[in-house]
Amino acid sequence: MPERSLKLRALLFLYSTANIVGCSVALLGPLLLFVGVVGKGWLLITAGLYGAGWLLGQKPPELERQIEDSLTVDQTIEQLDRIVAQARPHLTAEMGLSLDGVRTSVAEVLPRLVNERTNENDLFTVRETVLRYLPETLANYVALPPAFRLSHPLKDGKTARQLLAEQLSLLEGKLREIVANVSASDAQALLANGKFLESKFRQPDFLATNA
């Protein structure tokens, strides 16, 4: 992962849930002073309240970033379902629909690729893109502070939310193409799709585009 600038690290801290919760709790300090509950020590109390709020809000959500290649088809799809379920509360309805489409395509094409074993490259493409790049991308997105995802511009002035929505829509469309190409035994098209998806999802860190 590329080293992040001091400015970017400061922005991530300011947007973080820990800082937002800490600031919200710290507001009790001036309030207690205003109503006369505390006196000269209100600054220390405010600092303590901020620290308590920061501790309450600092733990970020975690998603599993990788699914082992040794899993069976059913186990792989179950793992994918679990990761999508973990990410869904942090996604928009549009993103959820794209992931549903991804899941449908994977469930359709992966058993064929595993059973037929006619082209190991196709199987590798689907596994790498959906079961490694996708979890990594979702994990990186969810790890960003919610306010940062929504409002801070990154690549081409787009927010992390907009970038993820575009990537998931793109992934859904390309996997539909892969399903069609496997059914038509179109090896050249599959190869082109594999290279395209790898180039799009090889770097799943949203902040790398803003380095």
Buried b (16+ CB within 10 A) or exposed e, 88-114: eebbeeebeebbebbbebbbebbebbe
Cα–Cα distance measured from residue 171 to residue 188, given in angstroms and rounded to the nearest whole number: 19
d(CA 164, CA 158): 10
* pLDDT tens by residue, 150-188: 888 888 888 989 999 998 998 888 888 877 877 666 556
| Range scoring the smallest mean pLDDT among 3-7, 12-16, 143-147, 202-206 | 202-206
**Measuring CA to CA, which residue among 193, 180, 69 is closest to residue 132?**
69
Comparing 156 with 33, which gets the higher pLDDT? 156
Determine the pLDDT at residue 211. 42
What pLDDT, on a 0 to 100 scale, did the predictor assign at position 162? Answer: 92
Quick one: pLDDT at residue 1?
45
pLDDT at 192: 65
Summarised one tens digit per residue, pLDDT across range 97-145 is 999 998 998 888 888 877 776 566 667 777 777 778 888 888 888 888 8
Residue 48: band (very low, low, confident or very high) from pLDDT cuts 50, 70, 90: confident
Mean pLDDT across the stretch 62-90? 77
| Ranges 28-32, 63-67, 86-90, 123-127, most confident | 86-90
For residue 161, the model assigns a pLDDT of 92
pTM of the model: 0.63
Whole-number pLDDT of residue 134: 85
* DSSP run (H or E) holding 82: helix 73-87
